[in-house]
């Protein structure tokens, strides 16, 4: 912990940090598309969909496109990747249901108990690029006891743009130095730190497949843990 | 219930509907000012402070002033009424603490159990004129299990402006007809209804003092109850 002491609020990255998007998306795609006769590499499909995530947000970060909910970008990305897997002509209802697979992601096992512990000592909120309705769906599914839903939709932009971190601090009336960004992605934490926030890293070694995730921070952080319960212990919660 | 069926989300007014602002503000003012030697009619002080609430928001509703958090308006209103009670020269720390009395309001006893029941069946969120940090403070104090904090701050305007109701529906990806505004104030419900939302009234007969509050809706609503637990029962929760 830095000399500035403990944070008053913890902000959380969600995709990859709190939920296992990869196996969840693979499962949902299989549940929906297999009965329709499609057979494909479901994990590769999840990776391909996620692969379009950053480029899509770049359109908005750079100002080439007006801000929209991540659900809208997910839909555009879905339409882009389906042909690569030889899937075409899905009914609109199916497309919608498939697109909302991102609302049905499962938490890593330590996320719900870790958040419950941390909420006793800190204000907790997601600061994710996901939209409010998506965050609500994941919270209801996984029992994330958020104090508020912050992040891209209240900021009108996507991480790692400074506005997203700063809007979250402002919403809770806190200076950035009293807020800690928690993520399994060092790049997210680097941006948070450059905007004055404290940083906490948790390892998600299997985010992108077995052994394909960050096992530790790539730069100096204020605190790091093997998982959210470990981090909670280190923060005295 | 209307033919359109049950709502998917319930939006709640907070001041007066879920929390007893009048006796809470009177208590907080006394706690802070009495030790400093002030003696005044604490309930009259609460009424006077609340009396400046609508006029202050009107400055923003009409576009004469840019949107700001309700905390900022509360502070301006506090400075306006203190001289009426012959209170002057309070230190800045005391002014701040007194202003945040609105973050320390107590719930009506049925509000926490009523919300807990309703959350099992519906998405629930405050759609209040209070800012996010204020809503978070009240929720943590009173165990309001919100799915998200919606309302004035995400809309950039104050009720009864249409934008506040509609921004809440949009945040949850729901058409207004699948959302229900719940309030102890018929005027709030009239505005919600005119924007296409369903409406639920709960009686708060003592909001402005014994016998000085709405005991029932002044116009047709979709459902009404004696309190939040009664309303939960009528909504099948």
Per-residue pLDDT tens over the stretch B193-236: 999 999 999 999 999 999 999 999 999 999 999 999 999 999 99
- Let me know: does A235 contact A5? Beta carbons within 8 Å: no
Q: What is the architecture of the domain spanning A9-20+105-234?
A: 3-Layer(aba) Sandwich (3.40)
Q: Cβ atoms within 10 A of the Cβ of A213, count?
A: 17
| Per-residue model confidence as pLDDT tens digits over B72-82 | 999 999 999 99
pLDDT at A3 over 60: no
Partner-chain residue, chosen from B71, B132, B173, that has the shortest CB–CB distance to A148? B132
Reading the block at residue A26, the tokens are 């693979």
pLDDT at A2 over 80: no
Using the beta-carbon criterion (under 8 Å), do A135 and B148 form an inter-chain contact? Answer: yes
At A5, the pLDDT band (50, 70, 90 cuts) reads: confident
Using the beta-carbon criterion (under 8 Å), do B133 and A71 form an inter-chain contact? Answer: no
Choose among B200, B24, B6, B25: nearest CA to B114: B200
| Per-residue model confidence as pLDDT tens digits over A121-134 | 999 999 999 999 99
Using the beta-carbon criterion (under 8 Å), do A149 and B148 form an inter-chain contact? Answer: yes
At B5, the pLDDT band (50, 70, 90 cuts) reads: confident
Using the beta-carbon criterion (under 8 Å), do A136 and B123 form an inter-chain contact? Answer: yes
Q: With contacts defined as CB-CB under 8 Å, which chain A residues touch B14? A: none
CA distances from B27 to A201, B22, B24, B41, B98 (A): 43, 9, 5, 11, 11
| Per-residue model confidence as pLDDT tens digits over B40-59 | 999 999 999 999 999 999 99
- Cβ-based burial of A206 (10 A; exposed 0-12, middle 13-18, buried ≥19): middle
Partner-chain residue, chosen from A123, A136, A154, that has the shortest CB–CB distance to B136? A123
Q: What was the ipTM of the complex prediction?
A: 0.96
- Number of cross-chain residue pairs from A and B with Cβ atoms under 8 Å apart: 49
**What is the C-alpha end-to-end distance of chain B, expressed in Å?**
14
Instruction: Report whether CATH 3.40.50.1360 matches the domain B9-20+106-234.
Output: no
Interface with A, mutate which of B130, B146, B155 (most A CBs under 10 A): B146
pLDDT at B2: 46
What is the dihedral sign for C-alpha B120, A110, A21, A11?
positive
| Domain range list for chain A | 9-20+105-234, 21-103
Partner-chain residue, chosen from B132, B146, B147, that has the shortest CB–CB distance to A171? B132
B20 touches chain A (CB under 8 A): no
Range A163-174 average pLDDT? 98
CA distance A131 to chain B (A): 8
Using the beta-carbon criterion (under 8 Å), do A140 and B154 form an inter-chain contact? Answer: no
Superfamily of domain covering B22-103: Putative phosphatase; domain 2 (1.10.150.240)
Q: With contacts defined as CB-CB under 8 Å, which chain A residues touch B146? A: 146, 148
Range A3-11 average pLDDT? 84
Interface of A with B in 148-177 (CB under 8 A): 148-150, 153-154, 171-173
Q: With contacts defined as CB-CB under 8 Å, which chain B residues touch A132? A: 148, 150, 171-172
Using the beta-carbon criterion (under 8 Å), do A140 and B147 form an inter-chain contact? Answer: yes
Q: Do B9-20+106-234 and B22-103 fold alike per CATH?
A: no
- Let me know: does B145 contact B58? Beta carbons within 8 Å: no
- If you measure CA to CA, which chain A residue comes closest to B71? A173
pLDDT at A1 over 70: no
pLDDT at B121 over 60: yes
- Let me know: does A159 contact A188? Beta carbons within 8 Å: yes
| Per-residue model confidence as pLDDT tens digits over A76-123 | 999 999 999 999 999 999 999 999 999 999 999 999 999 999 999 999
B134 touches chain A (CB under 8 A): no
pLDDT at A4: 54
The H or E element containing residue B32 is: helix B21-33
Percent of chain A scored above 70 by pLDDT? Answer: 98
- If you measure CA to CA, which chain B residue comes closest to A153? B171
Q: Please confirm whether the linkage preceding B160 is cis (ω < 30° from 0).
A: yes
Q: With contacts defined as CB-CB under 8 Å, which chain B residues touch A156? A: none
The CATH number of the domain covering residues in A21-103: 1.10.150.240
pLDDT at B4 over 70: no
CB-based contacts of A170: which residues, under 8 Å, 6+ apart?
none
Range B99-127 average pLDDT? 98
Range B35-42 average pLDDT? 97
Q: How many CA atoms lie within 13 A of A56 on its CB side?
A: 22
Interface with B, mutate which of A9, A173, A174, A178 (most B CBs under 10 A): A173
Mean pLDDT, chain B, integer: 97
């Amino acid at each position: 912990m830095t000399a500035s002491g403990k944070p008053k609020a913890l902000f959380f990255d969600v995709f990859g940090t709190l939920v296992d998007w990869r196996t969840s998306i693979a499962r949902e795609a299989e549940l929906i598309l297999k009965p329709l006769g499609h057979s494909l590499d479901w994990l590769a499909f999840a990776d391909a969909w996620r692969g379009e995530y950053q480029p899509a947000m770049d359109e908005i970060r750079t100002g080439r496109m007006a801000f929209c909910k991540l659900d809208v970008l997910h839909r555009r990305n879905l339409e882009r990747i389906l042909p690569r897997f030889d899937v075409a002509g899905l009914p609109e209802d199916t497309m919608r249901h498939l697109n909302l697979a991102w609302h049905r992601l499962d938490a890593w096992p330590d996320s719900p108990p870790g958040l419950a512990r941390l909420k006793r000592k800190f204000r907790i909120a997601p600061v994710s690029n996901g939209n409010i309705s998506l965050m609500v769906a994941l919270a209801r599914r996984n029992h994330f006891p958020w104090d508020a839903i912050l992040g891209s939709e209240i900021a009108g932009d996507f991480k790692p743009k400074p506005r997203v971190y700063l809007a979250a601090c402002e919403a809770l009336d806190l200076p950035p130095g009293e807020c800690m960004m928690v993520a399994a992605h060092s790049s997210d934490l680097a941006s948070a730190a450059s905007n004055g926030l404290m940083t906490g890293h948790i390892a998600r070694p299997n985010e992108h497949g077995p052994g394909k995730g960050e096992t530790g921070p790539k730069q100096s952080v204020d605190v790091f843990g093997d998982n959210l319960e470990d981090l909670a212990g280190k923060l005295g919660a």
